[in-house]
Amino acid sequence: MTQIVLTSEQARILTQASEPVAICRPDGSIAGWISPGTRFVVPEVCPFSPEEIAAAEQEADSPGPWYTTKEVLEHLRSLDRTQP
């Protein structure tokens, strides 16, 4: 696992924060946020881990039943019609 060590000043800012802290790249673009209450890192672009993405891609590539948008909508409408 890659580790980045914060300076004392950066650690103080995180400790005193009352709302999520933006973590920026040298060019100023946001890489993500750290939530001060949980220290949970929220990524800027993708909330899924590489492992979750790989599993979803593998599942998508596997054989199985596939439905068109039209078929899905027809099924959902049929469920609405069966509700009292």
Name the percent of the chain lying above pLDDT 70: 85
Q: How far apart are CA 22 and CA 43, in angstroms?
A: 10
Report the pLDDT value the prediction gives residue 70, as an integer from 0 to 100: 95
Task: Tell me the one-letter amino acid at 37.
Answer: G
Q: Which amino acid is at 36?
A: P
Q: Identify whether 3 is part of a domain.
A: no
Element (H, E) at 34: strand 30-34
The predicted-structure confidence for 26-58, as pLDDT tens digits, reads as follows 998 878 778 776 656 666 566 677 788 788 888
- Structural domain including 34 reads 8-82
Count: domains in the chain? 1
Query: Is 2 inside any structural domain?
Result: no
Nearest to 14 by CA among 24, 6, 2: 6
Closest CA to 23 of 15, 8, 35: 35
